[in-house]
Amino acid sequence: MTITVRFAPSPTGYIHIGNTRTALSNWLYAQKNDGKFILRYDDTDVERSKEEYAHAIAVDLDWLGIKPDCVEYQSQRFHIYAKAVERLKQAGLLYACYETADELERRRKLRLARRLPPIYGREALKLTDADKSEFEAKGRKPHWRFLLPNFENDPFVTSRTEVHWDDLIRGPQTVDLASMSDPVLVREDGTYLYTLPSVTDDIDMGVTHIIRGDDHVTNTGAQIAIFRALGAEPPVFGHHNLLTTVSGEGLSKRSGALSIGSLREAGYEPMSVASLAVLIGTSEAVAAVPNMAALVEQFDLTGISKSAAKFDPAELDTLNRTLLHELSFGEAQARLEALDISGEQAEPFWLAIRGNLERFNDAAHWWQIINGELPEAPLLSDEDKAFAHDAFKLLPDAPWNRQTWKDWTERVKMETGRKGKSLFMPLRIALTGQTHGPELADLLVLIGPERTKGRQP
């Protein structure tokens, strides 16, 4: 058996780091088990689904390193869902309901007032053909509910009906079908809610494992019942904890908060996002994982906590710095060339500045400082300006190497009596226009004698 998983986003907005947690969990599980990963767009809501969002999701997944084995669109499979609907109707497991939203809400409140569970009472099962014709004549269209198998003979007399599964993440789980309403599978306008297309596709596409957020745990009992009603054995389920903001709020795809696209545009490395999305809220320490192959090795569903995990963007900054500081020149070379950074200086330049980068594109800033005009005029007090002017007269002769900085500053110290920060900071500002940055022993060599002398205050 080939392990087959799927990621099924709705293309109604941009995916965020919480969605990415689900996508990565499925993809890594498939990679770890030589399985198959399906990207399946849940675009049955034709009005809200946009091709631009589907394209953006594909771009985001590719940026993260997730490569689907196949891509499916539920909007192209309506004929398959229609067959599943007809099969359930013929089996007497899908029944027409004509209540309005207001009528259902009144019934819910009435049940609560009577201290009864606020679940649907199956009143529609009592409708005669004449009742249905009368509703139809008034212009009402039915929505269709799945009859849960939570009774023996009389659907109005439910009894505790336990559905069990051994969750990949949460361990043994139990849901009582008598505690829930018969789920609506088809709306009044004939469109499908999430459940029916999802179950039908999972059967048709041979999905063996469903890994998703734990907000779906209570849905699983009903879905298992639908799998069996359609003659299929349910897949293995795994429900991971959800990510929230630091303040505990849920992440929203529609708000664009922490969208993968915005993180990419902000200059984060894909592995910093992937590392945090996968490792946060697990028994593993959150650390920068250098590549997907290493993350596959580290990935372990059983280490995921049952409580929600709070996403702190500050952690992303820390991971990003770590990845950049450890990035070899070979790994960075093509990206440097895209920033017009090449030639003999490129490798020593990268090794000198990588330890000071927050974002990769910051390298262009340091390349300009070393090879061009300073982007910012050095800000020195009159006293420091005079000191730096005299210090530049003491520069050693070429050729220069990493020892040159030490030789120069020792000579300046002896001549001026300055030491420590009062010596080094004016020279740093004069050379780079910055108050902080890479080691000046490296920068001085890269700037070279001619450009250095041209920066004498």
Annotated binding site: 253
The annotated binding site for ATP is made up of 253
CA separation for the pair 345, 352 (Å, rounded): 11
Q: How far is CA 450 from CA 91, 269, 344, 398, 456, in A?
A: 87, 36, 17, 10, 11
First-to-final CA distance of the chain: 73
> What are 389's two structure tokens?
């002017």
Residues whose CB falls within 8 Å of the CB of residue 233, separated by 6 or more in sequence, listed in order: 227
Establish how many alpha carbons lie within 13 A of residue 60's alpha carbon, considering only the half-sphere containing its beta carbon: 29
Residue 309 forms beta bridges with which residues?
Answer: 243
Residue 259: DSSP 8-state? B
Give the number of other CB atoms < 10 A from CB of residue 385: 16
**What is the rounded distance in angstroms from the CA atom of residue 87 to the CA atom of residue 93?**
9
What is residue 123's DSSP assignment? G
Phi first, then psi, for residue 23 (nearest 5°) are: -60, -45
What are the strands, taking DSSP E only, across 279-331? Answer: 309-310
